[in-house]
Structure 1
């Protein structure tokens, strides 16, 4: 019988600003972690060299550890090709053969997918989706990402880019998304960025008193709006009601597509708790077909936010 107790994976999560990395055992425990600034490296070769400089000394120091692979999560990461394709928030333009370059540098096989898919894999391996074959992971941060499992398999599509639910249109002709040029996409409303824009729109559309007016418009963010809602501010509460209604409607649409056992919400915006979750749940149930009502669990991720990116990327290896 093979002993896997010494088997470990490297997880690397590449964001537009920061890249987090770690060495993870088969139980999902991070035994070493660190980060570098993604945007400090103008070329992909310089970036990989910097990663190697941080990780290789740790690998060499772990004499009894067997690194079985490297998992990479990145914007526009393609599982099939191992490439990052035209990521708008990274300095390296065009098609970047990241998995191949990392494999060659470390001498360890690397696998790549997009960051939201990596989060979904991590949730299935280590989090709230353990034992589930059908679920949708929605990440609510600066943007809206998603990863879909159906029949026990990650939905990738013919080209590796399936599951971009954040860019589905929820309000035809609605708010412009500056990075995609789309009008009315879910990400324009249900992200932390979207909450901030909604608050600004609501404030400019009425003379109603609000503690949000104490903050200069340019300094407003979703955390300030949340704090105001907790304090009972009427406009801030309406912002979350509006956001929840839109997200719930979108989730109802997603349910009709894959009939998941659960929808798992992850990311900074989930810190709003019931202020967001109640209108989301009400809206989702209201917009569902009767055959789906009261059957779909709507739950928060069980992964620690600071660890989730590394765990999700490392889970690709297993």
Structure 2
């Protein structure tokens, strides 16, 4: 049987899965992202994961990598990474893995991969123009238009987490609206709360007024960014991904309550949907290139790339 390995590298954890030839997940697991110099530690972590999986599953046809950071999808190199992954920029993941395993390797930005996964197998099937936002350790974005990902001239299209910089607080959108920001708010304002994001939402669902009020203030920050996306890209829908997407309509209702305040009256906004594949969307997107057959002169996600870059 043919198998495919998908790996999703985030600032907090590395998720990985084995898929069969019908893109069904046979095995799924996660480990903490190693601390230290990411350029050294992440390749070592990947070697350990892939070695282990290949000792159990034969017939591996390819390895798909979804990763935080700005990625050149042609070379599979990391062009830029934030503070959560120090020393990661410049890491040539595709070359390292191909040299070690002699297998086809595809490397993509994690939100681009999530968008591709949702378009292939999830909430965005049938949509040629949509925006995907993942909310986690940070915030990432991806624009899918004309039936393909929009990379941008320097592969930085969709990097909304760095937008909406506020001079007074010295913060960006993701520093106010990520799950990291929400948990920092909870630590500062709810001294009796001990838990993570899931527990915070569970308490709000059960009627805890303080938790609900905190989430309401946080989702207003989330809504500000989504309003900007609506105004700039006019997508047919905005797909919300990341682990928090498991909250589905409970989360989306909080966000919708704020959205109209940040667009002109009667202007309207893009419909919001939770990622159907949840936190596994990027894993599906990571292996998608191995199921895609098209002409050459395209990157591994089926998008024409300017070879002069």
Question: Is TM > 0.5 for Structure 1 vs Structure 2?
Answer: yes
Aligned pairs for 1:8-87 (under 5 A) are: 9-25=4-20, 27-35=22-30, 38-39=33-34, 42-43=40-41, 46-59=44-57, 61-62=58-59, 67=61, 69-78=62-71, 79-87=73-81
| Misfit runs of 4+, over 6 Å | none
How many Å separate the matches in 2 of 1:115 and 1:195?
21
Q: Aligned to 2:240, which of 241, 260, 265?
A: 265
How many Å separate the matches in 1 of 2:84 and 2:43?
18
Contact 1:39 1:90 in 2 (8 A): no
The offset of 1:188, in angstroms, is 1.6
The offset of 1:19, in angstroms, is 2.8
Contact 1:192 1:221 in 2 (8 A): no
Aligned length: 286
Q: Aligned to 1:186, which of 173, 180, 190?
A: 173
SS in 2 for 1:124: helix
How many Å separate the matches in 2 of 1:270 and 1:174?
30
Number of the residue aligned with 2:128:
133
How many Å separate the matches in 2 of 1:197 and 1:44?
26
Number of the residue aligned with 1:314:
287
Contact 1:266 1:300 in 2 (8 A): yes
How many Å separate the matches in 1 of 2:245 and 2:205?
14
Distance 1:151 1:292, change over 3 A: farther
The offset of 1:272, in angstroms, is 4.3
How many Å separate the matches in 2 of 1:292 and 1:8?
47
TM-score (norm 2): 0.79
Contact 2:116 2:285 in 1 (8 A): yes
Aligned pairs for 1:272-291 (under 5 A) are: 272-289=247-264
Q: Unpaired runs of 5+ in structure 2? A: 293-309
The offset of 1:72, in angstroms, is 0.9
Q: Unpaired runs of 5+ in structure 1? A: 1-5, 176-182, 204-211
Does residue 1:195 correspond to 2:193, yes or no? no
Give the CA RMSD over aligned residues: 2.9
How many Å separate the matches in 1 of 2:243 and 2:15?
17
Aligned pairs for 1:200-239 (under 5 A) are: 203=189, 212-215=190-193, 219=194, 221-239=196-214
The offset of 1:112, in angstroms, is 1.0
The offset of 1:196, in angstroms, is 2.6
The offset of 1:83, in angstroms, is 0.8
How many Å separate the matches in 2 of 1:253 and 1:149?
16
The offset of 1:274, in angstroms, is 4.7
The offset of 1:139, in angstroms, is 1.1
The offset of 1:167, in angstroms, is 1.7
The offset of 1:292, in angstroms, is 5.0
Q: String of CA shifts for 1:214-264, please: whole Å, max 9, x gaps.
A: 34xxx5644454344234333322222222222222111101221111111
SS in 1 for 2:34: helix
How many Å separate the matches in 2 of 1:236 and 1:221?
12
Which range is displaced more, 235-244 or 112-121?
Answer: 235-244
Structure with greater Cα Rg: 1
Distance 1:195 1:91, change over 3 A: closer
